[in-house]
Structure 1
């Protein structure tokens, strides 16, 4: 016959075992839950935008403008808008054949050699289309739908030690900037998906594979190179202080060499330094362009400007929350350095970014790093996440009604 104390101890042991199992199961399910929520949300959003806004012609999402296209040379199944169009038209052009790097092809003219350096997103769309040109407008949407799902999944994986990893995954994948990107055939979601995969591989010591993923991220969008640059700076700092670093330099050398190699290829093919046009167009005087942008949007009261200010406030909130938690030992050093570098870059962006309502898609790395720093510092209050969700819902409304 068991004494009461022994029975009580065994019951407590069983309870602890059940709690541990339940917590582990919840942590394992969180990435799948986050991915499912984001996938369904974007599927509904992109479906409505393709059927209602684009009136069934999904190529309309790329916003091919008359300024950069010739109707007589443009494939008949592609819809042409009057005016300048938008950046998605250049990704669509490259997706029709990513091996044709010249500035003019298929009736569309690239507005700079820097467009060619962002090759991964159109290449994946071309790959899924199996080279069938008429499928490209569809595969561009599919690639981005997969990308935001991966962002949510990997975001939850990276936030595994937080109280609500699924909430973090949805917050990352549901960034309002990605609603603009997915709705207009842009590369930010694809680049960010590769970036988060690379960060996860790095944190689990798969450094060579992480370097390869960083390379894909950097060839999707050059801003993604911020993270491997941060890793390279840390490696140098450790080398200077200790004269020996345990980090495999492949994690930042692979993406660096890939970026330089592709720039060299573009120089041979086009006779131009592709990245130079990108730097001239997107960099300005630090802080000055931010202030000019604020004045510009405050000049007139409109729904677009109100949404812009709301988005700016939400981003600023998470930047402040990240700054307040930089001393947290739960946050890895590389994430802090990458956040700092991206903050400097964001404040240095030109009026081309700050004077237009592009849903801050160019600052998505600042968003990702800020949210991860905040969430991984084990916050006690989660109301900022709900504000992020509300900002996305409000931001989506105009995109459900207009191009």
Structure 2
């Protein structure tokens, strides 16, 4: 494989992208900094196919990333390969308003091949290539220039290893017939809605006890206010206000701005400054959360009840047994909310009752809740047994 020098000019990048556009796949990784900002600061982009690899400097003066972004988001003929690519996709979304497509995530694919639910990149490389990844540059400041050669080599190795692993992984998936198992998961990862920072939905990330509409309405308004402040100042949300303080204010709102001086976690200056005034305005605008936005009771377990919860536990046990039998990550087979919905009596719209999931797990799960399947211990091992009618 040909390894290029660091690409820092538009012409070299455009030429690279023209060549890569003819490849069946490209492997992509990014290096970024976000400790002190709301928006991740893109510092390096690594890309490779089976013939060549390069690192691109997005901080180089005047560089035009257009051809690279077009390759990632507009070219449907080239498969984009990532490992645990959620944050990489977020960066592309922030730059373009959309996500790379079609895509393949090796961490998700590893779930179908019995390598756990969240295998790390280093363990993936070791398992497939027998190579130990150099972690020495992992915590480097990628925004500082110039980058030294060790940093560049470390970064490019991420995609050169992926370019070697991906064909092996794809071949294994074809041999096992499990490639189609991943289609839905890959599409879910590629959904642009996952990466939109909508201030009106920010409240859903904040944990708060209780579910009074008035409290949740204030939480929604405050979280929206904080999101707008953080985005406008390009600061992490926690630098504006911690989640705990946000929840406290939603539960016990101050009557006037001067009371902010007594709120733990806030500067006394908020009692009279502009940001404190905007906070109070957000509280004043808050109304009760509408019924159609209220979260389901009992942590998304409507109607489950005590007996249903026990059935859900049995389904989770069945899931562990079946996942072990077919050597697949349990999370890929079924999610907890689907199991709880099945235990509560729901049958429509459940992923485990459709397609390959039904064949591999859902059929038995349905038999279990409807009394046609039970647990038995044979030779000291837990097995499933059919129950005669």
More helix by share: 1
TM-score by length of 1: 0.24
Q: Highest CA radius of gyration, 1 or 2?
A: 2
More strand by share: 2
- Where relative contact order (Cα < 8 A, 6+ residues apart) is larger, the structure is 1
